[in-house]
Amino acid sequence: VWRYIAVAYPQKNRIWCGMTNTLLAITSSYVVCPLLGIPLYMSLRIKPYFDLLGSDGNPFKAMNNESARNVTLYRTYPSELAEKNPTLQNVNFWIYSVVIKLIPCIALTILSLRLVGALLEAKHRRKQLTGTSRGMKQIVDGRVVDVQHKKNSKNMEKEKQTDRTTRMLLAVLLLFLITEFPQGILGLLSAVLGPPFFYNCYLKLGDLMDVMA
């Protein structure tokens, strides 16, 4: 959002993106994110259990082997509150898939397109101004001569740095969308289709999505 304002509205950048608004945005993110995670905290619990592992770290099936060792593992399970109230799990899926995943992805997609459009418009406007300045003429000693206005090298480097920063930000946003959109869609399908889809599809793809993220 800050980059889009800087590119599309440079004259209002200092007003809209001042220190007060910046601190307000940061504080809001620290307050809203834990509130959105409350249903998730209430629907899960961590339980320890004992297992017999081999030297390779995988579950060991044969007994009486010196290489086997007892270990304590921790896994997440549905909490007692979630088991007694299936509605809590549904609310959790809807918040996770729609509010945390899909809405930010859609907003970032629209913002990225607007940012690209603003960047292209700024470049076009810059070329027009440069062409106009180069086409200016001046009368010197009764003769009409062309005036060449060369851009300052410092300004040129600043513009190139701004373009590089914008491209890098767009690349990061694209990677974010590639990894987050599938998770949001699978979470939404889990909320709509219920436990069969969650256990047969979502859980089997969970490790792959975590690696991508």
- State how far the Cα of 179 lies from the Cα of 37, in Å rounded to an integer: 20
Q: Does residue 181 lie in a domain region? A: yes
**How far separated are the first and last CA of the chain, in Å rounded?**
22
This prediction has a pTM of 0.65
Question: Based on the structure, what is the number of domains in the chain?
Answer: 1
Q: Does residue 62 lie in a domain region? A: no
For 69-109, how does the pLDDT look when each residue is reduced to its tens digit (9 = 90+)? 777 888 888 888 888 888 888 888 888 888 888 898 888 88
Domain that holds residue 109: 86-129+154-213
Distances (CA, A) of 212 to 94, 101, 205, 206: 22, 15, 11, 10
Q: Does residue 213 lie in a domain region? A: yes
For 105-155, how does the pLDDT look when each residue is reduced to its tens digit (9 = 90+)? 888 888 888 877 877 777 777 777 666 555 555 554 555 444 444 445 556
DSSP letters along 51-114, please? EEE-TTSSBP-SSS-TT-EEEEEEEEEE-HHHHH-HHHHHHHHHIIIIIIIIHHHHHHHHHHHH
CA dihedral sign of residues 36, 38, 39, 41: positive
Q: Does residue 104 lie in a domain region? A: yes
